[in-house]
Amino acid sequence: MSRYEHQQYISEPKEKRRELACANGLAERKRFLLSSHPELKKRLALLQKVVRDFQKQYPEFISLGLYGSLIKGYATPESDIDADIFIDQEIAEQRETEPRYRPFRLDEFRERLRQELSLSEEKTRDVYVREISKKEILENLRHSPPVLFMWTHIFLL
């Protein structure tokens, strides 16, 4: 399968797209397959902008990890966003003492996605927050094999 061959079946139903994207093992050999569809490329660029804006406002916002059809090669312009927002709980706790502290709110992030990416509420429903700390990451890496965080995510830092 060539780099963009998976685009040939973009009009197929989701299960068929998933089956075709995985049929020859390319999706399993690669960590991700990004779409060449102009609308999806624009969506990723806007998503990255939203993430950067929130990182400036909320230092505890570490990254956004994408998974699902958007990075596995079978997304369409109608696809939803599947993502985990990683929040550093230690930084969040430290910031609570700041006079103008505003905690990160998932509903605000989802609303911004809906506005910037012109998405419905349903399309942002699978965006979640995962609290984590540097200490937890180091502990897990010390006691676990290196594949601990080998989810199929693309991290927008």
More confident residue, 32 or 115: 115
Single pTM value for the model: 0.73
For every residue of the chain, which 3-state class applies, written as one string?
CCCCHHHHHCCCCHHHHHHHHHHCCHHHHCCCECCCCHHHHHHHHHHHHHHHHHHHHCCCEEEEEEECHHHHCCCCCCCCCEEEEEEEHHHHHHHCCCCCCCCCCHHHHHHHHHHHHCCCHHHHCCEEEEEECHHHHHHHHHHCCCCCCCCCCEEEC
Q: Could you report the per-residue pLDDT of 125-138, keeping only the tens digit for each? A: 999 999 988 777 77
Q: Percent of the chain at pLDDT above 70?
A: 71
Count of the separate structural domains present in the chain: 1
Mean pLDDT of the chain: 79
Domain that holds residue 94: 5-156
pLDDT at residue 34, rounded to an integer: 76
Is the pLDDT assigned to residue 149 strictly greater than 50?
A: no
pLDDT tens per residue, range 63-105: 888 888 888 777 888 899 999 999 998 899 999 999 999 999 9
Residue 139, pLDDT above cutoff 70 = yes
Residue 118 has pLDDT above 60, yes or no: yes
